[in-house]
Structure 1
Amino acid sequence: MKRIGIFYFSGTGNTEIIARLLSASYQRKHIKVELFRIEDIVNHKTPLITNEFDMIGVGHPVLGFGASSITEQFAKILPPCSGKKAFIFKTASSAHYINHGASDSIIHTMEEKGYLVFHNSILAMPCNWFIKYDDQLNKQLYGAAVKKVDKIVTDTINEQAQQLKINGILSKFLRILYYGEEHYGAKYFARGLSTSDNCNLCNKCIRNCPTNNILETAGQICFGSHCIWCMRCIYGCPTHAIQARNLTGCVVDPYTGGFNIDSILNNPEINGNFVTEKSKGYYKHFIAYFKEAE
């Protein structure tokens, strides 16, 4: 294997962290890797070239049990091929079974185009939607992700197959939920977005919006109806000026995952041992996940 192209969409940074960890792990094994942001390709800022790669990887966050419309759009514009090897990786607040089918539409589209998607994985990362994880858990999740990335790299180099299965009926039901969340919930959420007096019109939110949903009009930041609920504008605002009036409970404050994770990784007082063998309730299901990373 000579070269790998990794194409990823990352809302608030978790998937980008994994993409960069994958790149570093491949390069330690003397494999050349190039990273591409899916939004740059979909928005025609970067040309889509796949024929120079021996294998491609596609990464995305799980947004409402799905892969987000921008990732699905990317899969649809991939050029046809004849058996090029491909792998999928996704990030979610939990690697629970219920999230296993989030990439199914992407895989289906890619396979129709001739790609051989032989490896499908999911990595748990800090939750950026509704639930604020303890910083100890966020640090623990990152540590497990580093180990799991190395396994993904070994598996894909050796062309070791891995699939994530989910009940067909459940998958269809979750697909309906995903459609409703992105096409109705996200639009409702976006209609309630506004900026406070803290806004200095730096336009970072405009530049960073993956769907070009944010504009400046007459000195005001305006939010359109093409939101995909990725939360990047809110968590990425340097002055914390973007506020939500609708579905306010979905905003995690402060969010210490994704692009902000260095604040906890570099803090020696955060030990990263939140989930233990004695954990109960919601966090109990992480026990098996962390054991797999040992």
Structure 2
Amino acid sequence: MKKIGIFYFSGTGNTEIVARLLTKAYRRRQIEVACIRMEAVVNQQTPLVLDDFDLIGVGHPVLGFGASGIAERFVKMLPAGSGKTAFVFKTASSPHYVNHGASDVIIRAMAKKGYQVFHNSIIAMPCNFFVKYDDRLNKQLYQAAVKKVEVIAAQTAAGQANKLKFNPLLRGFLRLVYYGEEHFGARFFAQGLHTTAACNHCKKCVRDCPTRNISESAGQICFGSDCIWCMRCVYACPNQAIQAKNLAGCVLHPYTGGFNIEAILNDPQIDENFVTASSKGYYKHLINYFREDSSIK
């Protein structure tokens, strides 16, 4: 294999972490890699040229059981695949099977265009929505992701297939949930976004919004209705000056995953032994996930 093209969308940094880990894993195998943000292609900042790639990787977060509007817009822009092989990876706060079908729409769209998607995977990362994970769990998830990325890189480089189990009866219902969240929930959330006195008008949110939903007018930061609820503007603001009025409970204070994960990775006081073989309740479902890479015994 000569070259791999990884195209990814990342709202708050979790998928970007995985994309970069994959890039390093391929390069250790002496494979050339280009790692490109989907939004740069969707917003026509970067040309979409696939001819040089032997393998295409598509990565996205799970947003409302779906792949996000950015990922779907990107796939619509893809040229005919003519049998080109591809793989898909997704990040979610849980590897639960209800998240397995989040890539279904884009995989089927790619297949219609002639791409052979032979590998589909999911990696659990820190939750950035409503539920704040303990920093020990965030660190544990990252350490597991490092190991799982090595497996993904080895399998995809060798052309080894991987499928995720998904109940097709859930497809229609989860698609409806996704549509409602991104088209109605996100719009309602965006209507309540506002900046506080801490805003210094650096315009980072304006530059970084993947859907170009944020602008500045008459000295005010304005939020439109083309929001996909990715939470990037809220968590990436250097002054934490963007606050939510509507559905404020979805915002975590502070969010220590994604863009901010380095702080806990470099803190020796935080161990990565939150989920153990004896864990109960919600976190019990993560036991087998961690056992797959021997994170727990």
| Corresponding residue of 2:155 | 155
| Corresponding residue of 2:139 | 139
Amino acid at match of 2:193: L
The answer to whether structure 1 residue 184 and structure 2 residue 184 are counterparts is yes
Distance in 1 separating the partners of 2:121 and 2:166: 13
The answer to whether structure 1 residue 234 and structure 2 residue 234 are counterparts is yes
Identity of aligned residues (%): 67
Shift of 1:44: 0.2
- TM-align CA RMSD: 0.5
| Corresponding residue of 2:221 | 221
| Corresponding residue of 1:275 | 275
> Which deviations, in whole Å up to 9, do the C-alpha atoms of 1:51-107 show, x marking residues without a partner?
110001000000000000110010011010211110000000001001000000000
The answer to whether structure 1 residue 8 and structure 2 residue 8 are counterparts is yes
Find the residue that maps to 2:118 and give its secondary structure.
strand
| Corresponding residue of 1:24 | 24
> Which deviations, in whole Å up to 9, do the C-alpha atoms of 1:236-269 show, x marking residues without a partner?
0001100100001100110000010000000000
Where do 4+ consecutive residues of structure 1 move more than 6 Å? none
Distance in 1 separating the partners of 2:281 and 2:57: 34
Shift of 1:125: 0.1
Find the residue that maps to 1:146 and give its secondary structure.
helix
Distance in 2 separating the partners of 1:168 and 1:147: 29
Amino acid at match of 1:40: A
Distance in 2 separating the partners of 1:146 and 1:256: 18
Distance in 2 separating the partners of 1:171 and 1:141: 27
Amino acid at match of 1:51: D
Q: Map 1:247-286; keep pairs closer than 5 Å.
A: 247-286=247-286
Shift of 1:171: 1.5
Query: Gaps (5+ residues) in structure 1?
Result: none
> Which deviations, in whole Å up to 9, do the C-alpha atoms of 1:124-174 show, x marking residues without a partner?
000000000000000000000000000001111111111112111211100
Distance in 2 separating the partners of 1:293 and 1:212: 39
Distance in 2 separating the partners of 1:188 and 1:293: 40
Find the residue that maps to 1:211 and give its secondary structure.
coil
> Which deviations, in whole Å up to 9, do the C-alpha atoms of 1:165-220 show, x marking residues without a partner?
21112111000000000000000000000000000000000000000000001000
Amino acid at match of 2:170: L
Q: Map 1:85-124; keep pairs closer than 5 Å.
A: 85-124=85-124
| Corresponding residue of 1:130 | 130
Shift of 1:278: 1.0
Shift of 1:8: 0.1
* Stretch deviating more after TM superposition (154-163 or 126-135): 154-163
Q: Map 1:163-182; keep pairs closer than 5 Å.
A: 163-182=163-182
The answer to whether structure 1 residue 52 and structure 2 residue 55 are counterparts is no
Find the residue that maps to 1:34 and give its secondary structure.
strand
Distance in 2 separating the partners of 1:293 and 1:58: 23
| Corresponding residue of 1:39 | 39
Distance in 1 separating the partners of 2:222 and 2:185: 18
Amino acid at match of 1:161: A
Query: Gaps (5+ residues) in structure 2?
Result: none
Amino acid at match of 1:275: V
Q: With the length of structure 1 as denominator, give the TM-score of the two structures.
A: 0.99
Amino acid at match of 2:281: G
Find the residue that maps to 1:194 and give its secondary structure.
strand
Find the residue that maps to 1:15 and give its secondary structure.
helix
Distance in 2 separating the partners of 1:168 and 1:26: 33
How many pairs were matched up?
Answer: 294
